[in-house]
Amino acid sequence: MNPSDRETDFYAWTQRQAQLLKTRQFHQIDWQNITEEIEDMGRSEKRQLESRLEILIMHLLKWQYQPNFRSRSWQLTVKEQRLRLEKLLNKNPSLKSSLTEAVTEVYPLATLGAERETGLSVFPETCPYSLREILSPEFLPE
């Protein structure tokens, strides 16, 4: 199996690379692509963090700015995203250092989503919630 097999049968390529690592056949390993895949795995975890924060912040905004439409569904989405974030951070503690930056990066997307779903365009320029509030199981903005 040559490196181009990664493009035609990714699963088989991963299994072959794992076997080569296990048997210490380092001279046959597709190092270039292994490196890229490991980097992609790390980026994937960060994308998941950002996606969960975006959904969570969007629902906090909806909760705050549409009090007459508050629903159990919104509340459960907030709870679910917090639990999923907690699980992700427990498995990847180094992502905690990215939280503040991630909130800043996803906030404009969260406001767009909230605007699309509510029809409102009254959301603050910067995130009105602290990181502690965003992650706190008890916090719901009033």
Q: Of all residues in the chain, what percent carry a pLDDT higher than 90?
A: 92
Q: Does residue 100 fall inside a structural domain?
A: yes
Q: Which of 64, 62, 59, 46 is nearest to 105 (CA)?
A: 46
pLDDT at position 42, please? 85
Q: Does residue 75 fall inside a structural domain?
A: yes
The range of the structural domain enclosing residue 100 comes to: 5-135
- Which pTM was predicted? 0.84
Can you tell me the distance from the alpha carbon of 133 to that of 139, in angstroms, rounded to the nearest whole number? Answer: 6
Burial class of residue 41 (count of CB atoms within 10 Å of its CB; 0-12, 13-18, 19+): exposed
Alpha helices (H) along 66-130 = 72-91, 99-118
Share the mean pLDDT of the chain.
94
Q: Is the pLDDT of residue 4 over 80?
A: no
Candidate from 9-13, 62-66, 81-85, 112-116 with smallest mean pLDDT: 9-13
Can you tell me the distance from the alpha carbon of 17 to that of 1, in angstroms, rounded to the nearest whole number? Answer: 10
The stretch 16-29 carries a mean pLDDT of: 95
Burial class of residue 13 (count of CB atoms within 10 Å of its CB; 0-12, 13-18, 19+): buried
Q: Which of 97, 61, 94 is nearest to 78 (CA)?
A: 61
**Do 64 and 122 contact (CB within 8 A), yes or no?**
no
Q: Does residue 64 fall inside a structural domain?
A: yes
Q: How far does CA 43 lie from the centroid of its chain?
A: 10
Q: Is the pLDDT of residue 2 over 70?
A: no
Q: Is the pLDDT of residue 1 over 70?
A: no
Q: Which of 82, 125, 78 is nearest to 104 (CA)?
A: 125
Q: Does residue 142 fall inside a structural domain?
A: no
How many independent structural domains does the chain possess? 1
Q: Which two tokens stand for residue 83?
A: 């639990």
Q: Does residue 37 fall inside a structural domain?
A: yes
Q: Does residue 140 fall inside a structural domain?
A: no
Q: Does residue 141 fall inside a structural domain?
A: no
What's the pLDDT tens digit per position in 90-119? 999 999 999 999 999 999 999 999 999 999
Q: Does residue 18 fall inside a structural domain?
A: yes
